[in-house]
Structure formats: structure tokens, C-alpha cells
A and B are shown apart, each in its own frame.
Chain A
Amino acid sequence: MDDSIILVVMTPFVGAYLSPLLGLWRERLCHLVAVAAALLSLFFSFRLAGSVLTSGTIRYWVGGWEPPWGIELVVDPLSAFMCLTISLVSLLAVIYSKNFIEKELPGGKMTSYYTLILLLIGGMLGVVVTGDLFNLFVLTEIFSVAAYALVAISGKRGSFIGSYRYLILASIGTSLILLGTGYLYIITGTLNMADLSVRLPAFYDSWVVFGALAFLLIGFGIKTALFPLHTWLPGAYSIAPTPVTVIFSAAVSKVGGYSLIRVLFTIFGLEFITDLVPVAPALTWVAAATILVASMFAISQTSLMRMLAYSSVAHIGYVVLGVALAVEMGMTGGILHIFNHALATGCLFFCAGAVIYKTGIRRIDDLRGLGGKMPLTMAAFTLAAVSKVGIPPSAGFVSKFYLSLGALEAGEWIFVIVILLASLMTAVFYLRVINLIFFGGDKHEGKVQRDELPLSMLVPIIILALGCAVFGIFVGIPLRLVEPAVMVLSGM
């Protein structure tokens, strides 16, 4: 059996417990531990993706106990794709943390920061490789608890209340997930996802199953931040330290979306959610509302971080919309958008963090003239914004194109209008910022030096920005995993 599947999860966890131990001796070593752990996770993710591509879905029985008694880990192409996205973004965020955290988190919090961030990464990777519904709940709880603490870690004004709001809403979410899991366990007597999908059809007319589905949907809906359950997100995103925000927007909310996909497609199955109970069509409307409402909110923001946070909510909507359309093109677009959006949003948040790091500016109006001061960072910002708007040949264009094709394939032309309208709105708020940055005059004449970032912050920004451009042209690379993932999900 391929050991990469357990190692990809265990490396961040081992790193998480190694870092407080080494932190007692030398605090700076924690950064090295975190980078090493994230790097190893990325390596194992690549190995996983390789073996999934050559030999199909991998199953791993923890402790050698046969499912449904033991815990089973399952990596299909979608899991491998998520693993790669999560570990890539996490590695860049951990590298970026070095200088950022030294400046923004003084007072001996470095050890707890790296411990928590590794727990967050490990929990997310665990969620995407597990094949057991209860295990999924436990790991969701692990990364959520790490996330609450990371929002509050700076101890600045507003960080506790932001974290508290997130804690309350997300705890309601996890409680509902636990309830839904319990209902499914009561009626079928199993928690293994593959086993559940075999046993559930016998109970398709039972109210218990409907109840379980509703609980799981709302629970993961909160985690994914679907409208109207997104209210915790902007506060948490704008307060957390920037590398954490990047992991949140590029990975944490996507993991919520992933769990939603797993529950809908792997456990309940395509037929149940489209024909028997029209969950998927309902979800498309929720997603469309998420896209439009969040884009509208984004236009009216004055803080750069909050604007990006709302924009991130809107793009989760694209992912859910594509998947819920339940046609091949739409699902391809939705899943591809997980990766493409992770690149773009990661880059944008990194740039916003870089501006805070260099100048302390958080308001959009104050960005005037920064294009001349931090040219490389701002060029990367522009590239990523282009990808978010969806201008060809960026990566964002490709996934939005697939989404539109999917909407047409499903006969739901109204969603094509939603996508176009939302892209226009996205263009409105990003072009406004870009215009201010490069052509808004110079507000900081003499105050801000022309100065680029330290290398540890610049490199992740450049990598993600180039990714936005490269994966718009070489779409085939992510599609090699996305296409089999869609095949597996739709049961072809």
C-alpha cells in the first residue's frame, strides 16, 4: 500500500508537536520546522497525485483494520487535487510568515503561531483524504479550533470579537454536522462513506435521511461561507494575520466546499440530490445569490482586506455553482476554480498583507501611488486581479468559461448571465483599486520609500502571480486531475 496517504497528514501533525518542543530552546527553529513539514506534505501530495493518476483510487486501512470497522483513508483524483492545492498554498503561506510574523506578532507568540498553523494544515489534509464520515467531522473540528485561535492570535483590537463570532457560528456548523452524521449512523449503522452510499438507497424515502442531509448541508454551508451563512467570514479574514487569511480563503473555505461535494456526490449520490430531492438545483440558486450579493458588498468596502474577503466569498459561490449544476462541464469548471481561485486570492491577500507590512495601509483610498513604490508587488496584484475578473488568458478566465459552458449544457442560461454580471462587478472593484494604485497620483510623496519586500515575502507572491498566468495557458496540467475527479464523482 502507498504510505504517502498517511504521511501527507502525519507530517504537519508531527511538525505541530515538534515546534513547541524546539520552541522552548530556540524560537526561530519553529519556522524551519513548519517549512520542512509543509514541504514534505507537498512532496507526498505530489506522490499521491502520481499514484492516483497511474493506478486509480487508493484505499488505506489505518491499523490494518478492514472497513467498515476500521478507519479507511480514500484518495480519489478529487482528494489528490485538493491535497496539492492545500499543501502548495500552505507551503507558500508558511514561507511568507517568516518576516511578516516577526514584525506583526511580537512577544513570544511565534511558537504557538507555527504550532497552530501546522495543526490547521494537518486537519485540512486529513479532511480531504479520509473516507469516514465521523473522521471527517473530527478533523473538521481540529482545523476549526486551530483556525479560531489563529484569528485571535494577534490580540489586537477586534481580534477577539472576530474570533468569537467565528467560533459561535462555526461551532453551530460543526454541531449540525455531528447531528447529521449521527442520524446517518442511526439509520444505516455505518460511518464509512463508501459503505454509506451502498446502504442509503434502501432508506431514500425516510425522513431521517432528509434530516441528515439538511443538517449536513447547513453545517458545511457555514464552513463554506455560502450566503446567507457567510457573516463570520469578512471579520475573521480581515483580522487574522495575512498568511492565515491566505490559508483561510485559499484552503479552509474550499475544504468546506470539498466536504459538501463529498456528502452530496459520494454519500448521497448524483441521482438522489438531483431527482429525488432537488438539493443540487436549490444549491445553484444559493450559489448564484452568494456570487451576486458578495460582489455587491465587495464594491462598497473601504478596507482592502474586507473587499478581498467579500470577493473570496463570491468565488466560493462559483465553485459551488459549478459543482451543483451536476453536469460534466460545470463540475470541471467548479473544481478547476478551486485551484485557480486559490492562486489568485492567495496572491491578492499576500499583496494586501505586504502593503500592511511595509506601510500599515489598510484603506483602499490610501493605496494611491503605491504602484511606484512597490512595483513588483503591485504588478503581481494586477495579474491576480485580472485572473479574478476572468480576463483571458488568465487562469480565472478558463474556469469561468467552463462554468458558463456548464450552465449552457445544463440548460440554465440564467447562470451565464449571473457569471457575466458578477465578472463585471468584480471588474468594477478591482479596476478601481488598480487605477488608484497606478494612476491615482501620489499620496505618500516622500513618506514611503521606494522599497521592495524581503525575499521570503516576495517569492510566494511572484509564484502565485505567475501561476495565475501560466495555468491560464497550460490548462491541461490541472485538468489531468480534474477530469478524472469529475468522472469519479458523477459515477461514470
Chain B
Amino acid sequence: MMTTVVIQTIARVVVPFLQLFGLYIIVHGPVSPGGGFQGGVIVGASMILLALSYDLSSAETKVSHKVRIAMDSTGALLFAGMGLLCLLVGGVFLEYGIIPLPMAPAEVRGLMILLVGVAIGIHIMALAASLFLHLAEEHDT
């Protein structure tokens, strides 16, 4: 694939802003449109941009296969854990309001949705990057 120094430079400038924007969308999930999924996809897309403008291996060195698997599983497990935490304190699955923190139930819900958004964000950013990188890399068969 053809890639030039112009493409590479622009990509290098854009990638940090893309990632910052993605993180912004993740943490603003509880109060504005967006959330873990949307933000995670944007962060993941920044890795795809790296792979397209440089080459696959440079993106692989930034987030290796193992790191992606670890992030993917950790994000999903954190989400499941927060749902199951509500069971431990006597509520039903995902009933955030019941978690005993020194705040109003509505604020607890907001906080938990933020944390859930972060967990989903971690999960999705690894997943979005994997979808591209894994399909693009060379396979034995």
C-alpha cells in the first residue's frame, strides 16, 4: 500500500486528538450523548489510522495482541463485576442506586454509569482495534 510522509505526519498529529476526543466522549457518557461504546470506537479507530498510514507492525507494537486480549477481557469483566456487585449489596443485577455510598442514589447511579462506561470503553477500544488488525494480519491457513 502506498503511504507518504504527508499521510504519516498528518496521522501522527491527528491520533492524539482522536484519542483525547474518544476519552472525552467516554467520561461524558452520563451527562451527554456518547458513552463507552462510542468513545471506545473512536480510540480504537485511532489505532486503525496508525495501521493504515504507517504499517501493521507499527500499530502492533503500540497495542500487541496480548494487550488487546487483556483489555478486552478486563473491560467485560469489570462491567460484569459492577453488575454483580449490586447483587452482593442485596439489589438486583445492574441496580446501581442501591450501592451504599455517601451520596444521593441519583449521584450513585451517575457515578456507576461513568464507571461502567469506562469499563465498556476499555473493552470496545481493544475490540475495535482487534477487528481491523486481526483481520488484516497474515494468517497461516
Contact = CB atoms under 8 A, between A and B. Distances in A.
Majority secondary structure of chain A interface residues (helix, strand, loop or mixed): helix
Nearest to A115: B73
Contact of A14 (B72, B77, B92, B141): B77
B70 A63 contact: no
Interface string B74-96: 10110010011001000111111
A18 B66 CA distance: 14
Given A14-B77, A17-B73, A21-B74, A60 B141 contact: no
Assign chain B's interface to a size class.
Answer: 20 to 34
A418 interface: no
B141 A155 contact: yes
Contacts of A445: none
Nearest to A21: B73
Majority secondary structure of chain B interface residues (helix, strand, loop or mixed): helix
Contacts of A24: 66, 69-70
Contact of B73 (A6, A18, A62, A64): A18
B76 A17 contact: yes
A233 B97 CA distance: 46
Contact of B80 (A13, A20, A21, A60): A13
Nearest to B95: A64
A63 B69 contact: no
Interface string B55-78: 000000000001001101110110
Assign chain A's interface to a size class.
Answer: 10 to 19
A270 interface: no
Contacts of A1: 92
B72 A20 contact: yes
Interface in B87-126: 87, 91-98
Nearest to B75: A17
Contacts of B95: 63-64
B80 to A, nearest CB: 5
B125 to A, nearest CB: 16
Interface string A231-263: 000000000000000000000000000000000
A155 B98 CA distance: 48
Contacts of B80: 10, 13-14, 17
A17 B77 contact: yes
A1 B93 CA distance: 11
A63 B73 contact: no
A20 B73 contact: yes
Contacts of B73: 17-18, 20-21
13 contacts: A3-B93, A6-B92, A7-B87, A10-B80, A10-B83, A10-B93, A17-B73, A17-B80, A20-B73, A21-B69, A21-B74, A63-B93, A64-B91
Instruction: State the 6 A-B residue pairs at the shortest beta-carbon distance, nearest first.
Output: A64-B95, A63-B94, A21-B73, A17-B76, A6-B93, A17-B73
Given A17-B80, A64-B92, 14 more contacts: A6-B92, A6-B93, A10-B93, A13-B80, A14-B77, A17-B76, A18-B73, A20-B73, A21-B69, A21-B77, A24-B66, A61-B92, A63-B92, A155-B141
